[in-house]
Amino acid sequence: MKKPRVAIIMGSKSDLETMQEAAKILEKFKVSYEMRVLSAHRTPNDVAKFAESAKNNNIKVIIAGAGGAAALAGVIAAHTTLPVIGVPIETKSLKGLDSLLSTVQMPSGIPVASMAIGSSGAKNAAIFALEILATADKSLSKKLERFKKDLAREVRKISVIKK
Site for its own copies in 67-86 (CB under 8 A): 67-71, 74-75, 77-79, 81-83, 85
Query: Of residues 2, 30, 56, 109, which one binds its own copies by CB under 8 A?
Result: 109
DSSP annotation string for 41-70: TTSHHHHHHHHHHHTTTT--EEEEEEESS-
- 2 binding its own copies? (CB under 8 A): no
Query: Of residues 61, 63, 64, 65, which one binds its own copies by CB under 8 A?
Result: 61
d(CA 61, CA 8): 9
30 or 151: whose CB is closer to its own copies? 151
Burial class (CB in 10 A: 0-12, 13-18, 19+), 101: middle
Query: Of residues 31, 38, 54, 64, which one binds its own copies by CB under 8 A?
Result: 38
- 22 binding its own copies? (CB under 8 A): no
